[in-house]
Amino acid sequence: MHWDIFCKVIDNHGDVGVCWRLACALAGEGDAVRLWIDDPAALAWMAPGGCDGVSVVRWNPVDAARAAADVPAPDVLVEAFGCDPAPEAVARFAEERQRDGASRRWINLEYLSAEPYVERLHGLPSPVFREPGAGLTKHFFYPGFTERTGGLLREPDLLARRERFDRAAWLQRHGIAWRGERLVSLFCYEPKALAALLAQFERAAEPTRLLVTAGRASAALPPGPAQRGALAIHWLPALPQPEFDHLLWACDLNFVRGEDSLVRALWAGAPFVWQIYPQDDDAHHEKLNAFLDRLEAPASLRGFHHAWSGIGSGELPALEPAMLASWGNVTLAARTRMLAQDDLLTRLRRFIAQKS
């Protein structure tokens, strides 16, 4: 099959992160994929080696017109996160769909959420009434955590690679002088509770090495020395997607943000804290609580998430070893439940086959 995936980079690279993983997963199963992206700059560090079977189209008026004319329309057009695909590509898609019948599909890939509306809206049709796609029908495809959603992206060999992972070798390769202390990754926005977390690590009886990702997490960190009491800080360069997975596998506790890293933290199986993207109308409060419900989070994990995401006025709870162990059990149990379900790509192929 041939796929076109359309992606606009809004902010923080989560959109392109999801789209690149999907494109690589499709190519890994032998499909041809074109990723249309308005700003491919992030791929220089996210995917420096590219991916066999995936070609990148710079999404601007000149290149879009040329790309739409160069090859036949795709079997499946994926509109990621309601980005409005290039009109030239939609016109070509509509023309060829009219000529060869109803086998071509337009999928609107939506944002991940654990909220109840996802099950209600997943798979629903959305007729297109304006040119150039007038007369076509999109179908909503919602990733999610239940059988009645689109599931989560997961490579077939992911858990096998996780089992073979050599933490000590990976740390050594990245110049991280690990001496057996607790390892914590930091991938965040600018949480108000960050200073409290650092102070907690500095005063703790157990030494901690904080591995700080490039970008907003590094910028949010208050200036200071690499060694701060019981806390040692290591700043990381921008990591390609496989190396980001390795970072999560290497750590005893992961602080993640956004959509793609949340799913990867779940597959990593270690305790994690998710900073949800803040929204002006506080809609993220309900979204976070829905996820914590789905995770079956205990009160300690729920309270820490609320404090970390600035919900309510509670202080950041202390990270006690027994509490972290219980969080790890929660993550592993949730991972087991999700592994019992089909992954997103399996469900997407099934959905397309049923609609053809």
Active site positions, annotated = 15, 259
Task: Return the structure tokens found at 157.
Answer: 């060999």
What is the C-alpha to C-alpha distance for residues 192 and 255, in angstroms, rounded to an integer? 14
Pairing of strands 208-212, 76-80: unpaired
294: three-class secondary structure by DSSP:
helix
- The whole-angstrom separation of Cα 30 and Cα 39 is 26
Phi, psi of 141 (to 5 degrees): -130, 110
What type of residue is 356? S
Given a contact cutoff of 8 angstroms between Cβ atoms, the answer to whether 170 and 164 are in contact is no
Query: What DSSP element (H or E) covers 253?
Result: strand 253-257
* Pairing mode of beta strands 137-141, 125-127: antiparallel
User: Would you call 215 exposed, middle or buried from its count of C-beta atoms within 10 A (0-12, 13-18, 19+)?
Assistant: middle
Q: 220 phi and psi, to 5 degrees?
A: -75, -20
H helix intervals, 85-233: 87-100, 117-121, 158-164, 167-173, 194-203, 216-220
Place of tokens 């050594």: 172
DSSP 98: H
